[in-house]
Amino acid sequence: MKRKVISAMLSLAIVVSLAACSNGEAPSSPTPADSTPASPAPTATTPVEPAPTNSAPAETPSGGVEVDEGLLSVEITLPASLFEGTDMTAFDPDNYAQEQGFAAAVLNDDGSVTVKMSKAKHSELLAEMSKQYDESFAAMVEAEDSPYIKSITHTDDFSAITAQVDRTAYEAEVINLTPFVLGMSGMMYQAFTAGTPRVEVIIEDADTGDIVTSYVFPDDMNG
Average pLDDT, the chain: 78
Mean predicted confidence (pLDDT) in 52-71:
54
pLDDT confidence bin for 3, thresholds 50/70/90: very low
Give the single-character DSSP code of 156.
T
Asked whether residue 22 carries a pLDDT value surpassing 70, the answer given is no
Mean predicted confidence (pLDDT) in 130-140:
96
Q: pTM for the complete prediction?
A: 0.66
Mean predicted confidence (pLDDT) in 163-178:
95
How far is Cα 220 from Cα 74, in angstroms, rounded to an integer? 30
Higher pLDDT, 104 or 15: 104
Higher pLDDT, 92 or 25: 92
Instruction: Tell me the percentage of the chain whose pLDDT exceeds 70.
Output: 68
The CA dihedral of 31, 57, 191, 177, to the nearest 10 degrees, is: 70
Classify the C-alpha dihedral 56-62-67-68 as positive or negative.
negative
Task: Identify the helix (H) or strand (E) that includes residue 186.
Answer: helix 178-191
What pLDDT is recorded for position 138?
97
- Residue 217 pairs with which residues in a beta bridge? 199
Q: Beta strands 149-154 and 160-165: pairing type?
A: antiparallel
Range in 33-47, 147-161, 176-190, 196-210 with the lowest mean pLDDT: 33-47
Angle at 152 between CA 206 and CA 169, to 5 degrees: 45
pLDDT tens track for 81-132: 878 888 899 999 999 999 988 999 999 999 999 999 999 999 999 999 999 9
